[in-house]
Structure 1
Amino acid sequence: MKKLMMSGAVVTVAAVALVGCGSEAGQDKAAVSNKPVAASTEAPAQNVRTPEKNDRMSEDTDQGLASFTYYYFEAKNYAIQTGDADLMREVAADCSGCMTEADAIEAVYADGGWIVGGQPKALNVVALDEAKDEEGNLSAMVPYMEDARTTLDKDGKTVEAKEWDSDGTTLTVTANYADGAWAMVSVDETPNAGLPE
């Protein structure tokens, strides 16, 4: 009788051990499936990390403007990869050009398409020497590049393709500081503008 009980205990322990292994394997699989996956011509990006705000971008300083500008482009990158432009809209509601871009990105995904590449890269943010104007606006020059970009429709067919420009360009961004936060006012391509010394 004792022998039988011991055997049953061994079987029970073995079963629990196997269940434990299964749980760990399931957790490992879940961890793998949560990893970011870049977009391809086969499928849109997956598990894209949401950009996070930082304390510096609320500072009423040149560094605050720079930090905010980097965040804006991270929000744009997030929109390009996911079709969700809410973060862009949150910090650039008064920037008509930004809203036009947000609309265009969302329209691609609303129709079942997606975007491969096109990641914006602000290489530097250099505030202009001028003081803020009476409305609280401050401008900065941004040496800028974008990755090659392909827009696909719901069937995976290429709708538009833009090659990588190794020369990049220069943007002039203007943002407004009010109530403890920056908001984008305009983002204009100004390729002939020189960086302030």
Structure 2
Amino acid sequence: MRADAKKNRDRLLAVAGEVFAEQGADASLRDIARKAGVGLGTLYRHFPTREALLETLLRASFEALAARAGELETSDSADEALVVWMHETTEFTYSQRGIIALMMDAIEDTNSALHASCVMLRVAGTALLTRAQAEGKARDDLNGEELFDLIAALAWLREQPAHAPRADRLFDIIAGAVLTDRPEV
């Protein structure tokens, strides 16, 4: 990649990160290009879709969450490892304003730029769930797809001003429903 093209790409990523953090995943791509000092065509040459731009921005974080699940797989407590990862993933997903709907669509769409990253997260969570189930600490009738859905639902609740105050309590209730021996809230 030419030096000027790399500079434009890096500038687009930096600006997009700021704009998405302020305005959410539906922020105007035209505004991102303008604030980065490039034309919309330059943005689309580097990132042909909104999802491609988001995937590039989020890939490192998704990989870190998957690696975190790998670390937690070796912890002494399978149930606590699962709950910690669920909490960290819920918080991350919530912090990326407006990405929940995109993730839920992307996990089902193999053509989505975000698909592989979302599948990576689901696989990571499934491994923790499977370990907890093997130890009798998590209900056997739950699968990784449903776990992914629960995390998305919990993150969505945090995004809703009327529901956000109850989000921590609802997380505890859901965690209690996933695990077999977690005390009731």
Normalised by the length of structure 2, the TM-score is 0.38
Normalised by the length of structure 1, the TM-score is 0.36
Mark the structure with the bigger radius of gyration: 1
The answer to which structure has the higher helix fraction is 2
Higher RCO (Cα < 8 Å, 6 or more apart): 2
The answer to which structure has the higher strand fraction is 1
